Copies of this chain bind each other. A is one copy, B any other.
Amino acid sequence: MSLEPARKHLVRLSDWPQEDLDRVLALSRTLRQEARPGALASKSIGLLFFRRSLRTRASFEVAIGKLGGQPVNLTGMSDLWELEDREGSIMDGRAPEHIQDAAAVLSSYVDALAIRPAPAGRTWDIDRKDETIKSWARHARVPVINMESALWHPLQALADLLTLEEELGKLQGKKLSIVWVHSPMAASASVVHSLLLSALRKGMHVSLAHPPSYALDPGVLDEARQRAEESGASLQTFNKLEDAIDDAQVVYARSWMSLESYGNPTLDASHRSRLTDWKMTEKLLARGSECKLMHAMPVRRNVEVTDEVLDGPRSLLYRQAENRLHSQKALLVDLLGS
Q: Which residues in A have some Cβ–Cβ distance to B below 8 Å?
A: 35, 37, 42, 44, 46, 49, 52-55, 57-59, 61-62, 65-66, 70, 72-75, 77-81, 84, 88-93, 96-98, 100-102, 104-106, 108-110, 183-185, 297-303, 307, 310, 317-318, 321-322, 325
Contacts and interface: CB of A to CB of B under 8 A. Distances in A.
Number of copies: 3
A317 B101 contact: yes
Nearest to A35: B42
A311 to B, nearest CB: 8
Given A42-B66, A321-B108, A303 B52 contact: no
Contacts of A35: 42
B65 A72 contact: yes
Contacts of A65: 44, 70, 72
Contacts of A59: 109
A52 B78 contact: yes
A242 to B, nearest CB: 22
Given A52-B79, A75-B78, A104-B321, 11 more contacts: A42-B66, A46-B58, A54-B79, A54-B81, A54-B105, A58-B74, A62-B109, A88-B302, A89-B301, A104-B318, A109-B325
